[in-house]
Structure 1
Amino acid sequence: IIWEKRIYVTCPIEDQDGLLAFDAAGKELWRKTLGALKPGRGQRVGSAANSSPLTDGEVIVTYFKSGTVTCLDLDGKSLWQINLQEKYGKDMLWWDQGTSPIFAAGNVVIAVMQTDGESYLVSLDRKTGKEVWKTTRKYETGKESGDSYTTPHVVKIGGIEQIVTWGGDHLTGHDAKSGKLVWECGGFNPEKTGMQRVIASAVVDGDLAVVPFNRGDAMSAIRLDGRGDVTKSHLAWRNDAVGADAVSPVLNDGKVYVVKDGGPQRGRVTCLDAKTGKQLWESALPKAPQVFYSSPVLAGDRFFCVREDGMLFSGKVTDQGLAEIKSHALEEGVIASPISADGRLIVRTDKHLFCFGEK
Structure 2
Amino acid sequence: MTKYDARLRDLLVLFLFCVTPLANDAWADWPSWRGIDDHGSRSDGNYPAVLDESTMRWSAPLPGKGCSTPILFGQNLYLTAPVDGKDSILSIDTSGAQRWSTSFATEVSGKHRNGSGCNASPVTDGQGVFAYFKSGTLAAVELDGTERWTMNLVERFGPDQRFWDHGTSPVLTQNHVVIARMHAGDSWVAAFDKVSGELAWKVARNYKVPKECDQCYTTPLVIRHSDREAILVWGAEHVTIHDVSDGKELWSCGRFNPDANMLWPAIATPVIVDDVAVVCFGRNDRGTPQLHGIRLDGSGDVTETNHVWFRDDISSFVPSPAVYEGRVYLLRDKGEVECLDPATGETIWSDRLPKNRADYYASPLIAGGKLYAAREDGVVFVVDISNDRLEMLSEKDFGEPVIGSPIPGDDCLYIRGEDHLFCFATAGKAN
Aligned twin of 1:19: 89
Aligned equivalents of 1:11, 1:205: Cα separation in 2: 33
Contact between 1:183 and 1:229, CA under 8 Å: does it hold in 2? yes
Runs of 4+ in 1 over 4 A off after TM superposition: none
Q: Deviations over 1:56-106 (max 9, x none)?
A: 111001100111111100111001111111111111110011100001242
Amino acid of the residue matched to residue 167 of structure 2? Answer: G
Among candidates 28, 37, 42, match of residue 107 of structure 2: 37
Aligned equivalents of 2:189, 2:182: Cα separation in 1: 8
Aligned-pair distance for 1:203?
Answer: 1.1
Amino acid of the residue matched to residue 22 of structure 1? Answer: I
Aligned-pair distance for 1:281?
Answer: 0.5
Aligned-pair distance for 1:131?
Answer: 0.7
Q: Deviations over 1:314-349 (max 9, x none)?
A: 111124212244211111111111111211111111
Q: Secondary structure at the match of 1:179?
A: coil
Mapping for residues 286-305 of structure 1, pairs under 5 Å:
286-305=354-373
Aligned twin of 2:309: 237
Indicate yes or no: 2:423 matched with 1:355. Answer: yes
Aligned equivalents of 2:345, 2:115: Cα separation in 1: 32
Aligned twin of 2:177: 108
Aligned equivalents of 1:317, 1:118: Cα separation in 2: 43
Q: Deviations over 1:226-251 (max 9, x none)?
A: 21111120112112221110110102
Amino acid of the residue matched to residue 120 of structure 2? Answer: S
After TM superposition, the score normalised by the length of structure 2 is 0.80
Q: Secondary structure at the match of 2:283?
A: helix
Indicate yes or no: 2:263 matched with 1:177. Answer: no
Among candidates 327, 331, 339, match of residue 259 of structure 1: 331
Among candidates 294, 316, 324, match of residue 222 of structure 1: 294
Amino acid of the residue matched to residue 239 of structure 1? Answer: R
Aligned twin of 1:145: 213
Indicate yes or no: 2:130 matched with 1:58. Answer: no
Aligned equivalents of 1:191, 1:277: Cα separation in 2: 21
Aligned-pair distance for 1:167?
Answer: 0.5
Among candidates 135, 146, 158, match of residue 226 of structure 2: 158
Aligned equivalents of 1:298, 1:250: Cα separation in 2: 7
- Structure 2: give runs of 5+ residues left out of the alignment: 1-70
After TM superposition, the score normalised by the length of structure 1 is 0.96
Amino acid of the residue matched to residue 274 of structure 1? Answer: P
**Which has more helix, going by share of residues?**
2
Q: Which has the higher contact order (CA 8 A, sep 6+)?
A: 2
Q: Secondary structure at the match of 1:85?
A: helix
Aligned equivalents of 1:2, 1:179: Cα separation in 2: 29
Aligned equivalents of 1:108, 1:127: Cα separation in 2: 9
Aligned-pair distance for 1:39?
Answer: 2.5
Q: How many residues align?
A: 353
Contact between 1:345 and 1:355, CA under 8 Å: does it hold in 2? yes
Contact between 1:157 and 1:207, CA under 8 Å: does it hold in 2? no
Q: Secondary structure at the match of 2:82?
A: strand
Contact between 1:346 and 1:354, CA under 8 Å: does it hold in 2? yes
Q: Deviations over 1:164-194 (max 9, x none)?
A: 1111011111111120001111111123322
Contact between 1:205 and 1:252, CA under 8 Å: does it hold in 2? no
Aligned equivalents of 1:18, 1:354: Cα separation in 2: 19
Amino acid of the residue matched to residue 413 of structure 2? Answer: L
Among candidates 105, 109, 117, match of residue 48 of structure 1: 117
Q: Secondary structure at the match of 2:388?
A: coil
Amino acid of the residue matched to residue 119 of structure 2? Answer: N
Aligned twin of 1:68: 137
Amino acid of the residue matched to residue 360 of structure 2? Answer: F
Amino acid of the residue matched to residue 255 of structure 1? Answer: R
Q: Secondary structure at the match of 2:129?
A: strand
Mapping for residues 118-129 of structure 1, pairs under 5 Å:
118-129=186-197
Aligned equivalents of 2:367, 2:74: Cα separation in 1: 17
Q: Secondary structure at the match of 1:214?
A: strand
